Amino acid sequence: MLTFCVCLVVLVASYFLYGGLLSRVARLNGEAEVPSKTMYDGVDYMPLPRWRIFLIQLLNIAGTGPIFGAILGACYGPVAFLWITLGGIFMGAMHDFLAGVISLRNGGKSLPETIGKYLGGGVRKFSLVVIPILMVLVGGVFIVTPSKILASMTDIPYLWWVGIVIAYYFVATIMPVDKIIGKIYPLFGAALILMALAMFGVVVFGDYSVPELTSLDNMHYNAANLPIVPTLFISIACGAISGFHATQSPLMARCMTSETQARPIFFGAMISESIIALIWAAVAMAFFGGVEGLNGWMQANGNDAGLAVSTISVTTLGAIGSILALLGVVAAPITSGDTAFRSARLIVADMLNFDQRPIWRRLVVSLPLFAVGVGIAFIDFDIIWRYFAWSNQALSVLTLWMITAWLMRRRSRASWLALIPAMIMTYICTSFVFVSDQFVGMGACFMAYVYGGVVTAIVSGLFMLKICKDVKEGAPI
């Protein structure tokens, strides 16, 4: 349990140490004007209390990611603790914090708009196509997941649940942010934290043994086809780094009342998510009697992380556990699903400069998005999910390069804090293309990693040429 405890302490300490450093790098100004005041519209731009925004942000970025992803990542062994901790601090928290600050200082603009400002019009156009599709994809996936679970637990047919979930998504997407999201999400966010605390109690006080990190060996039952680099870094996204988070930050940037709230809301929510992921990775390894036992159970049960959550929760916590499991596998994806659709609405509205105060304008934007989302709900879930994980991390690459550009335009000596993660994640995503059978399928051979390195060098060089040119020409910050 020493490895787990050290990682937990490091994550908590990072909020004060690395979070403080990044706050100084960003030069947060508590007196600066914020969008919730200068652009108030009573729908998306409106001030909310800091504690409420934090819980909403945590739930928006989490979903089932830090639970399901952590369990799947735990199959690789205690090396997962290392990625959750270091990735969560130096990649994920930095990514979420600075992307949130950039949106806050650009009028709460959505991610494609800020990417376009700092990486160029061509990347903006690409983002305006890809990111809304990704958001609708998330929404569609999270129509399927909770509907299947609820259908299995009740006598209500699956299609009825699909209709109910879609109806809820639609209402939550078009209503002002303080009506449903602002009232219900803090409760579910608190429940997510309570669930993690309960599992922490199971690990610490239960009769379980958490494996220690003694090597970087790949302990996955399918290690030959799923190498740690790059597959672990794709499997554990939420909890380490996830591009989806940067699409959610503008929603909350429009509700903040001071720049100084960025650290607890953006950095703090990401560190909280990493802690949740760390706890679930530890629980998964401990509950099934070690990494080998976890792998055996997952292999026998079709890698069903949702079933693992239910089994662990009910066995260790009884009736309370079943309630917590329900919140984890049903409420969490539903809340991420509807904010994904809301984010898609705002991206399209920003692109068209389409005022969202009149409800009919929100309907005009939302209806086509939901039509696509409903269609996705009837596509083979496994096919959708296989490509979503990579797309999500590819989005984090664009966000990291945007942050690098922002820091370099400010002529910050701390630009390398984003540049190094940007290059690492570029390599993770490009090497995955060559290694994984989802794409080229070369396997974990030497040349697959070489090709990944070559593409990374080309992509990094092109981005740096663009960024340096803009800096030289004095592009606006």
String of DSSP letters for 32-66: S--HHHHS--SSSS----HHHHHHHHHHHHHTTII
Integer Cα distance of 337 and 346 in angstroms: 15
Integer Cα distance of 15 and 29 in angstroms: 19
**What pLDDT is recorded for position 309?**
87
Integer Cα distance of 56 and 186 in angstroms: 6
- State the CB neighbour count (10 A cutoff) for residue 280: 30
CB-CB contact of 335 with 165 (8 Å): no
Integer Cα distance of 282 and 82 in angstroms: 12
Where would I find the H helices in 327-410? 332-352, 359-376, 381-409
Q: How many CA atoms lie within 13 A of 79 on its CB side?
A: 17
**What pLDDT is recorded for position 338?**
87
**What pLDDT is recorded for position 143?**
85
Query: What tokens were used for 260?
Result: 């100084």
CB-CB contact of 238 with 62 (8 Å): yes
**What pLDDT is recorded for position 140?**
82
**What pLDDT is recorded for position 31?**
94
Q: Nearest Cα to 111, choosing from 92, 130, 93?
A: 130
Query: What tokens were used for 471?
Result: 């800096």
**What pLDDT is recorded for position 195?**
86
3-state secondary structure of 90: helix
Q: Nearest Cα to 90, choosing from 316, 425, 449?
A: 425
DSSP class of 178: T
Residues in the chain: 477
Query: What tokens were used for 2?
Result: 């020493």
Q: Which residues of the chain have pLDDT under 70?
A: 328, 380-386
For residue 423, which amino acid is it? M
Tens digit of each residue's pLDDT (9 = 90 or more) over 141-168: 788 878 877 887 788 998 899 899 999 9
**What pLDDT is recorded for position 477?**
87
Burial degree of 155 (CB within 10 A; 0-12, 13-18, 19+): exposed
Integer Cα distance of 74 and 308 in angstroms: 12
Query: What tokens were used for 7?
Result: 């990682």
**Alpha-carbon torsion 398, 400, 403, 408, what sign?**
negative
DSSP class of 86: I
Integer Cα distance of 340 and 170 in angstroms: 11
CB-CB contact of 91 with 399 (8 Å): no
**What pLDDT is recorded for position 452?**
98
DSSP class of 217: -
**What pLDDT is recorded for position 10?**
98
**What pLDDT is recorded for position 116?**
96
Burial degree of 471 (CB within 10 A; 0-12, 13-18, 19+): middle
DSSP class of 107: T
Number of H helices, E strands in the chain: 22, 0
**What pLDDT is recorded for position 314?**
84
Query: What tokens were used for 383?
Result: 């096919």
Q: Nearest Cα to 411, choosing from 459, 477, 463?
A: 477
